[in-house]
Structure 1
Amino acid sequence: MKRKFKTGRLMLIVPLLCQAVNVFSQAPKQYLSQPLIKSIYTADPSVHVFNGKIYIYPSHDINAGIPENDNGDHFAMRDYHILSMNSIDGPVTDHGVALDIKDIPWAGRQLWAPDCAYNNGTYFLYFPVKDKKDVFHIGVATSKSPVGPFKAEPQPIKGSFSIDPAVFTDTDGQSYMYFGGIWGGQLQRWAGGKYNPNGSKTDLQKDNQPALNCKVVKLKANMKEFDGPVQDVIILDAAGKPLLGKDHNRRFFEGSWMHKYNGKYYFTYSTGDTHLLAYAIGDRPYGPFHYKGIFLKPVQGWTTHHSIVEFKGKWYLFYHDTQLSGKTHLRNVKVTPLYHQPDGSIAMIDPFKPTTTVKK
């Protein structure tokens, strides 16, 4: 025998069901990890292990009161603070200002994501900053200490452009720099090999052509100059074809990093406007690299920028989000374990831990 719901009862049940679904879908989430430091805002962590200790080279976010836009003008950083840790779960030391924009002779504004490398008794801090004509180039500063202070060279690295330098030193001692970022990073304005001040503010908008590529170049032994031509970092799909410009879930945007695992080269990067961290694997530092997938789901905040490091036999992902401020330009650095699977893939990381809490 079929039962019939009275219209009035059905009208009562449906809103209650919708309310229950809505409450469940909006259940609070817990962050996977907590900010490493809360006294200042930090982002874009480039992390290295020097002499058995963890050193973090982040951007130092400030509230400059600049409206948010696609050029990234609201990211108006002016100096770098270097952080260190003796252990992953241990306290974090802020070593203060390591380099200030006022001490960079050619700099105009916006000290964005840096990186650091070591060679022959000297630490090299690589940084992108706009020159006095508002064009991004990459500079280098040196110190005998991993925490500085660093002294900047009087001019940017010859042939450098765009943002996000990441220096990888291979097991044979050769170092390479990966760099570039579209939109505010200006990479799209260098499409012809020369800066076009009237170029697109976002990308080339050629959806069915190969996407813009990250750049890679060998460094000379002095670590201050490029050794040879700048090359494209080609990312191929499963069919062996370059990723297209319209493929925003997989194409390179900014924030590249390189690490080596089991003899393979892992090129990792941010997809930017789709807020993912992706990876591709190759057999040599120059690539080509074959796209393999995503390993970090979107964080809280517009973008993410990361590094991957091995410490005491375990691998870790350093990244950032906006847990402390809730504002795009005021971020905080975090760390979480990273796992390589037996087949060489990287296990997926969710920056949130969903809960089943229901508000009464």
Structure 2
Amino acid sequence: MLRTLASHRAALLLAAPLALAACQSQPTQTADQPAAGATAPAHTTGGKPKYLTQPLLSSIYTADPSAHVFNGKIYIYPSHDIEAGIPENDKGDHFAMRDYHILSMDSIGGKVTDHGVALDLKDIPWAGRQLWAPDAAFKNGTYYLYFPVKDKQDVFRMGVATSSSPTGPFKADATPIAGSYSIDPAVFTDTDGKAYMYFGGLWGGQLQRWQTGKYDANAPEKKPDGNEPAIGPRVAQLSADMKHFAGPVQEIKLVDEAGKPLLASDTKRRFFEGGWLHKYQGKYYFSYSTGDTHLLVYAVSNSPTGPFTYKGVIMNPVQGWTTHHSIVEFKGKWYIFYHDTQLSGKTWLRNVKVTELKRNPDGSIVTINP
């Protein structure tokens, strides 16, 4: 989930057709929910739909949707955006989320249910502030919620909480995952049963502060740049109990077709944040946001830990500065869950959406214009 000045927002793409109908649930109103009819951008331009899809939920602001299929049903684990009244800055202090709501849906285009608060900041013993983009996993009868939050020293760490239900409530462990840092956890369980956590985010996500293996509070906010190798995302195998790292954290190599590392100056291809891994026909697809160029792109490997070869763009820029997604198979089709700012027009107050993900015969992904 990218956090920076709204003045850099990506331009809205206008010409795509409406693919899926809006589907909304109506939980009890709260102070941070969208005001009916207030400042929402028009949905059509010249009689044509302005957005590819409509928000899944309009009663609260949601973003960074991590979608999973559990027991034949889709569960979405998003951030819960609020209007915190904090001025915007490049560190993302205005993204001051305080809890998580979990959503579910029986079908694409069907009713979306908001199951209420699943985990609150005040119930995480070691947490300081800012509950950013989460993810979830299931193993041996237990559901795991993974989340990044700043500790009391204002350093992002990964936490884990557990529940017997996919919708919670979740109980957080008393301490963060040892050796964890930065933001945007994404957990992938391979067909051999091994589970991996992918994570990392630049700028406000603090990944650039960990280049020596220890947190450096004095590291430049936006380095490296130029022709230096780009900072790669991180991966660590999870332990059998899904609560610890089973081995060292590794940097993922992202390379071009010639096998050369992507450079920091290659801002339309290098990793910024929001990583996600899915597997298709034996290949591992690592997708991510390029941040300040507002693209969702992907790279492919024969191994879950890479190296990954850059292949192309999944989704062009959405309305708003940030872009963050997940990809899931459901009833024989693939879908991408994402967000934009249709309901608010404000880059820190977002709404989740979904559309079908299509591929060419060679497995390459067809670029989406949202």
**Alpha-carbon deviation of 1:26?**
9.8
The separation in 2 between residues aligned to 1:139 and 1:228, in whole angstroms, is: 17
Alignment of 1:1-360 (within 5 A): 30-205=50-225, 207-351=226-370
Alignment partner of 1:184: what SS?
A: helix
**2:40 maps to what in 1?**
none
Greater length-normalized contact order (CA 8 Å, ≥ 6 residues apart):
2
The separation in 2 between residues aligned to 1:218 and 1:316, in whole angstroms, is: 26
Amino acid at match of 1:309: V
Alignment partner of 2:50: what SS?
A: strand
The separation in 2 between residues aligned to 1:97 and 1:202, in whole angstroms, is: 34
Amino acid at match of 2:121: I
Task: Confirm or deny: 8 A CA contact 1:70 1:202 kept in the other structure.
Answer: no
**Alpha-carbon deviation of 1:202?**
2.2
For the structure 1 residues 33 and 230, does the alpha-carbon distance in structure 2 shift closer, same or farther, using more than 3 Å as the test?
Answer: same
**Alpha-carbon deviation of 1:204?**
2.4
> TM (normalized to structure 2)?
0.87
The separation in 1 between residues aligned to 2:50 and 2:74, in whole angstroms, is: 26
Task: Confirm or deny: 8 A CA contact 1:302 1:328 kept in the other structure.
Answer: yes
**Alpha-carbon deviation of 1:239?**
1.3
Alignment partner of 1:31: what SS?
A: coil
**2:7 maps to what in 1?**
none
Task: Confirm or deny: 8 A CA contact 1:125 1:140 kept in the other structure.
Answer: yes
**2:4 maps to what in 1?**
none
**1:7 maps to what in 2?**
none
Alignment partner of 1:102: what SS?
A: helix
Deviation readout 1:225-251 (Å, 9 max, x if unpaired): 001111111111111100000000000
Amino acid at match of 1:344: G
**Alpha-carbon deviation of 1:340?**
1.8
Alignment partner of 1:328: what SS?
A: coil
- Higher helix fraction (1 or 2): 1
The separation in 2 between residues aligned to 1:200 and 1:331, in whole angstroms, is: 29
**Alpha-carbon deviation of 1:173?**
1.1
> TM (normalized to structure 1)?
0.89
Q: Quote the sequence identity (%).
A: 72
Alignment partner of 1:134: what SS?
A: coil
The separation in 2 between residues aligned to 1:121 and 1:345, in whole angstroms, is: 35
**1:12 maps to what in 2?**
none
Alignment partner of 1:266: what SS?
A: strand
The separation in 1 between residues aligned to 2:275 and 2:69, in whole angstroms, is: 18
The separation in 1 between residues aligned to 2:240 and 2:275, in whole angstroms, is: 22
**1:19 maps to what in 2?**
none
Alignment partner of 1:189: what SS?
A: helix
The separation in 1 between residues aligned to 2:81 and 2:150, in whole angstroms, is: 16
**Alpha-carbon deviation of 1:27?**
9.6
Task: Confirm or deny: 8 A CA contact 1:264 1:283 kept in the other structure.
Answer: yes
Structure 2: 5+ residue stretches without partners = 1-44
User: Greater Rg, structure 1 or structure 2?
Assistant: 1
Deviation readout 1:165-184 (Å, 9 max, x if unpaired): 00000111110000000000
**Alpha-carbon deviation of 1:292?**
0.3
The separation in 2 between residues aligned to 1:267 and 1:50, in whole angstroms, is: 22
Amino acid at match of 1:57: Y
The separation in 1 between residues aligned to 2:290 and 2:46, in whole angstroms, is: 26
**Alpha-carbon deviation of 1:203?**
2.7
**Alpha-carbon deviation of 1:341?**
1.2
**2:20 maps to what in 1?**
none
Alignment partner of 2:175: what SS?
A: coil
**Alpha-carbon deviation of 1:287?**
0.5
